[in-house]
Amino acid sequence: MDQQIQENLNQPKQASWKQYALLTVGSESVWGLLKHELITGLLGGFPGALGLWLRRKTYPLLFKSCGRGAIIGKNVTLRGTSKITLGDHVALDDGVVVDARGTEASIEIRDRALISRNTILRSRNGRVELGSHADIGANCILATDSVLTVGDDTLIAAFCYLIAGGNHRYQDPEISIRKQGFDKRGGITVGRDVWIGSHVAVQDGASIGDGAVIGSHAMVNKEIESLAVAWGVPARKQRIRGDTA
């Protein structure tokens, strides 16, 4: 994908409102764009309990589908809303960005998942899936050009970076890196009931098995088996949960 999305947003023969609509709602729907602008413009920064209640009642109209009891904080940024699905009682804290960009993009956040303040979820012609009761800490980035899945009941602490894709090719020094496209290494899979400590980086192609624990400041670039306790750069299994030896 040779910067396809950037090029799609800079088409000289396409009306600027259509480019903006593709970015914000994921289609060229006039009604969808007007609805998005009215709801987010009037209520996006509305303070207090009344603001939360008004967003709970109106923001579900923006998404591909949205379950009951959504909690949407102030100044949440939504892009590609027609490609975003929320389960029941999902919470998006203040300043969260949920960005589904490109014709193949999708983001699904399942029941009772929590996305904490200033965290970014981004799918660029890829798929992001967050399991039920997943708890994503503040100031994280979860982004993919392929697939990124996080299992049920998984905890991800603050300032973590899970980047599945976006590995620029750079082999030819005669061509700018921007124009050489990307390599994909299979995405990222995080199992259920995983605990990832703060400031962890998970790279494209890595997987973390069910019940694993990843220590703070680790860098995960390969498979971590289920129930492993791992840390380091790169992260290595140090022991298995439940072992008494």
Question: The CATH number of the domain where 89 resides is what?
Answer: 2.160.10
Of the candidate ranges 84-93, 108-117, 165-174, 189-198, the one whose mean pLDDT is the lowest: 165-174
The CA distances from residue 107 to 49, 65, 79, 153, 179, in Å, are 27, 11, 11, 18, 27
- Report the mean per-residue pLDDT for the chain: 91
Is 14 part of a structural domain of the chain? no
Is 205 part of a structural domain of the chain? no
**Domain carrying residue 89:** 20-183
Structural domains in the chain (count): 1
Q: Is residue 2 pLDDT above 50, yes or no?
A: no
Q: Is residue 11 pLDDT above 80, yes or no?
A: no
Is 206 part of a structural domain of the chain? no
Is 106 part of a structural domain of the chain? yes
Percentage of the chain lying above the pLDDT 70 cut: 93
Is 7 part of a structural domain of the chain? no
Is 200 part of a structural domain of the chain? no
Is 78 part of a structural domain of the chain? yes
Q: Is residue 183 pLDDT above 90, yes or no?
A: no
List, for residues 190-241, the tens digit of each pLDDT value.
999 999 999 999 999 999 999 999 999 999 999 999 999 999 999 999 999 9
- Categorize the per-residue pLDDT at 180 as very low, low, confident or very high, splitting at 50, 70 and 90: confident
Is 155 part of a structural domain of the chain? yes
